[in-house]
Amino acid sequence: MNSQSDPTGFNKFLRTLEPNASSVDDGFLRCRTKLVKFFFWRRCDDPDNLADETTTRLLNKVQAGQEISGDNPYRYVFGIAKNVFLEYLKAKKKSGIPTDIDELRDEPALQSTETCSSLCLAQLSAEKREFLEEYYLDDIDRELFARNKGLTINAIRLQVFRCREMLKHCMENCLRRFNSARN
C-alpha cells in the first residue's frame, strides 16, 4: 500500500478490527467510541479529540501500507492510543492546563433541557418510568432493590443503562430540534 488515501485498505482493517460491525461506518464508530472511553477513563480532558487523533494516525499508518499483523489488531490500536496519551500528558505538563472543567462548552439552555427531559421521559413506557422513579428516588440499596424486583444486580444495572441510552438518544434529537428552531 502507498501513502495515498486508500480507503479500501482502511475499511479492510476496520472489518478486521470490528468483525461484528454491520458496516464500515458502524465499525469505525465502534472503534472511535472505544477510544473515547479509553481516554475518558484515563481522565483526559478532551477524550473526543484524542480519539480522533488516534484514529487519524491509525488511518495514516494503514494507508501508508503499514503491515498490521497478529491475531489481535486492537493491540496495535492500543499502542497508538498510549502514545497519543503520553504526548497529551507531556503537553499538559508543559502548558499547565487545569484538568478540572467547571463549565460545559455549548451547554444547552436550561429551559430546553428541562423540556426535553420531560418530553423524553414521557416517551418511556409507564413501566420503565416507574422503574426509574423507584431506582433513583426511593433511596434504596441497589442490592435490596434488585432483590425486591426479583432480579440480579447486573440485570438492574443493565435495565437502567438501556433506559438511559434511550433517554440520551431522545435528548440529543430533542435538543437538536430546539437549537434548529431557535436558529
Name which position in 24, 29, 61, 78 contacts other proteins (CB under 8 A). 78
* Least distance between other proteins and beta carbon 71 (Å): 10
Q: How many residues does the chain have?
A: 183
For 27, 63, 103, the CA distances from 168, given in Å and listed in that order, are: 21, 35, 20
Decide if 21 contacts 27 (C-beta within 8 A). yes
Instruction: Indicate whether 146 belongs to the interface with other proteins (CB under 8 A).
Output: no
Q: Quick one: cell of 25?
A: 461506518
For 44, 50, 78, 92, the CA distances from 81, given in Å and listed in that order, are: 12, 8, 5, 16
Instruction: Indicate whether 133 belongs to the interface with other proteins (CB under 8 A).
Output: yes
Nearer Cβ to other proteins, position 127 or 139? 139
Instruction: Indicate whether 127 belongs to the interface with other proteins (CB under 8 A).
Output: no
Torsion of CA 65, 66, 69, 74, to 10 degrees: -120
* Least distance between other proteins and beta carbon 14 (Å): 14
Q: Which residues bind other proteins (CB under 8 A)?
A: 20, 30, 34, 36-38, 40-41, 43-48, 72, 74-75, 77-78, 99-102, 104-105, 107, 113-114, 117-118, 121, 129, 132-133, 135-137, 139, 142, 152-155, 157-158, 160-161, 164, 167-168, 171
